[in-house]
Amino acid sequence: MDTYIILEAFHGTDIRNVDSIIKSGFICKPNKQHWLGNGVYFYMDYSLAKWWTTNPTNKFGVNIINAAIIKCKIRAKNDKILDLRRLKDYTKFVDIYRNEFLPLLFQGELTSTNDEIIDTKTLRCTYCDYLNIKYNYKLIIGTFYLPTQPYMPKDYGKFFETFNISYIESQLCVFDSSIISSKELVSIDRR
């Protein structure tokens, strides 16, 4: 019996893209330095999607003039999700990297030339793409602990030192948009 996971996630974009996304779906803009591979990105936290629309990075081809947030339902089989919030998935992520991916990298099978040096961001993106291709993951949920994130007040990172409790950001990278079961515009911010 297949077990499905249903997640609610938020995607920030420009209002000009909303009709096309709602009618035809998302378009992945490939980039060798995406966080979790080449897919469509979502936040699980609405406020982070909203923050992102006011602070997008230019290197991913984003030009937001009038921000919009699309809420999506994502429905995928549990075995097609690599959820790095789960210990078993995180250990699998590390084990495949160490035992399978790294040997291929050192043999020169994953770069265009044996002399090419891959920076950390490109290496991480290439590895997540490899997981998608080799293991047919439809979705990777990644976690990030960065106490100095620009959306976090400057002194909040010190709170962790006091209580050892931190905020962990979660992002979703959807490789197969057929798992996005609904799309709904939930916010427009005209400037």
pLDDT digits (tens, 9 = 90+) for 10-24: 999 999 999 999 999
**Phi, psi angle pair for 190, to nearest 5°:** -80, 135
Structure tokens at 63: 């030009």
The helix-helix angle for 87-96 and 120-135 (nearest 10°) equals 100
- Asked which of 116-120, 123-127, 161-165 is least confident by mean pLDDT, the reply is 116-120
Q: What is the mean pLDDT of the chain?
A: 87
Total-model pTM: 0.89
Residue pair 47/158 in contact by the 8 Å Cβ criterion = no
The pLDDT assigned to 115 comes to 45
Is pLDDT above 50 for 113? Answer: no
pLDDT digits (tens, 9 = 90+) for 74-100: 999 999 999 999 999 999 999 999 999
CA-wise closest residue to 80 among 72, 71, 89 = 89
The pLDDT assigned to 55 comes to 75
Run of H or E including 38:
none
- Asked which of 83-87, 115-119, 145-149, 183-187 is least confident by mean pLDDT, the reply is 115-119
The answer as to CATH 3.90.228 being correct for domain 4-189 is yes
